[in-house]
Amino acid sequence: STPLYSSAASDVYKRQNVYQVDLPLKEGRYSWSNGNFVEVFDSTVVEIITDDGLIGVAECCPLGSAYLPSFALGVRAGLAELVPHLIGQDPLNIGHINRLMDAALRGHPYAKAPIDIACWDLLGKATGLPVFTLLGGAAQDDVVLYRAISQEAPERMAKKIELYAAQGYTKFQLKVGGDANEDIERIHATRSVLKPTDILVADANTGWTRHEAARVVGAIASLDVYVEQPCLTYEECVSIRRRTTLPFIMDEVIDTPNTLVRGIAEDAMDVINLKISKVGGLTKAKLMRDLCVQHGIPMTIEDTWGGDITTAAIAHLARSTPSEFTFSATDFNSYGTVDIAEGAPQRVNGRMTAADRPGLGVTPIYDALGAPVASYS
């Protein structure tokens, strides 16, 4: 039989362009734990071009430099380190590409992620298949979204929840992790304006010390709310999980397949947040997704931040995940003021879907991206 694609010389990693684009926010500022905030996100778009003219694209946008061990300049510095090891290789052999990256640069999964995702986009275009088909096939027609509520005064956060509920959202991620007394007030104020069927997540983003987290979970014990990543370390979070009956989400500390396996074995969480760039791209995200499905752990499928291209990657991974294990997903392109790709998923009544077109199904808007800040060949 004839293969869907050939690994002949025409499928060669010939050239890579790197773009930098600023993504301002509609709300002006995004604030989370410990006083951290971002007003304009610094995103990196990668374009891999093969000998036969296929173009694979991806995007990586860290949440500032004080969230995870990642930062925008690190993405571009990591690409400069990685790409010389990849020119001339077969980008459709994604496993080999990942092994080369891991051998060339220890750690820094966020810098490897856009290369991995662009290779999946190329594979979809080479085979004529959407990425969600390559990731296991469509498991749902569309995916439910959550809305992150930036940390502000309790009454302002409650008003924003009412606003976004009117747009079709039914799941809300409340940014807490500040002063424990104010956070208790934030959680009570926002839960009070929601429908009983709506989901509220109190996401501390590692911001509480253990004694503060213990106070908060005790004070909200009677509410219908999920507690997410209360403390900095895995061990501290597990300590808080043992003190509450509220459903528990792990995020920042579940950053590799190994940490996921540990969390499953130790019953450390009920849900995880699976951020694609945090774990190194779609290849490792798929592995972790499949482990979660096997062990009955639902996921919020998302990334650290991004625009249209990141949102497309999220949509494809989420659409290929069974709905009962898709706790929610994120439409980051609805938070910003700049469009960087055509054909990106769009929110409809609190949900989105991935395109049936080959690859990620998006086309960069080069006028928005500007000239490349780096090119490699």
Crossing angle of helices 109-127 and 282-295, in 10° steps, is 90
Nearest residue to 18 via CA among 51, 52, 60, 50 = 60
Concatenated DSSP letters of 310-337: HHHHHHHHHHTS-GGGEEEE--GGGTBS
Catalytic residue among 14, 275, 284, 286: 275
> What's the rounded Cα separation, in Å, for the pair 86 and 302?
27
State in Å, rounded, how far the first CA of the chain is from the last one: 34
Strand order in the sheet with 271-275: 146-149, 171-175, 199-203, 226-228, 248-250, 271-275, 299-302, 326-329
Tokens (6 digits) for 347: 């929110």
Contacts of 24 (CB under 8 A, 6+ apart): 39, 40, 41, 336, 337, 338
SS3 state of residue 59: strand
| Known active-site residue 14 | no
Concatenated DSSP letters of 161-215: HHHHHTTT--EEEEE--S-HHHHHHHHHHHHHTS-TTSEEEEE-TT-S-HHHHHH
> What's the rounded Cα separation, in Å, for the pair 377 and 69?
29
Catalytic residue among 160, 175, 278, 286: 175
| Known active-site residue 175 | yes
* Catalytic residue annotation: 175, 275
